[in-house]
Chains A and B, each alone.
Chain A
Amino acid sequence: MAVDDLNLAVERGEIFGFLGPNGAGKTTSLKMLLGLARPTAGAAWVLGRPAGDWRVRARVGFLPEHFRFQEWLKATEFLEVHARLYGMPADARRRRVGELLETVGLSRHADKPLRDFSKGMLQRIGLAQALLNEPDLVFLDEPTSGLDPLGRRLVRDIIHSLRARGITVFLNSHLLSEIEITCDRVSFIRRGRIVQTGKLEQLLAAETEVELRVNGLSPELLRDAARFGQSVSLDTDRLVVRMVGEEGVPDLVAWLVRQGARVYSVTPRRLSLEDLFLRLMEGEEAG
Chain B
Amino acid sequence: MTNIRLRDALLGILTSLVSGIALALLLWMLTSIFLYGIQPFLKEGLAVLIENPNLLPESVSPRLGGIGPMLVGSLIVVGLAVLIGFPIGFFTGLYLYEYEHSKIASACMRMLEILVEAPTVCYGVVVYFTLVLALRRLAAIFSSLCLVFILVPYLAIQVRDTLRSLPIELKETCYALGLSTWKTLMMLVRASLRAIVANSMISIARILGETGPLLITAAYYGYWGPWIFNPLAQAPVLTTFIYFAATSPLRKVQLLGWAACLVLTLISMGLFMAARLIGRRRY
The answer to whether A and B interact is no
Chain A interface (Cβ < 8 Å from any Cβ of B): none
Interface residues of B (CB under 8 A from A): none
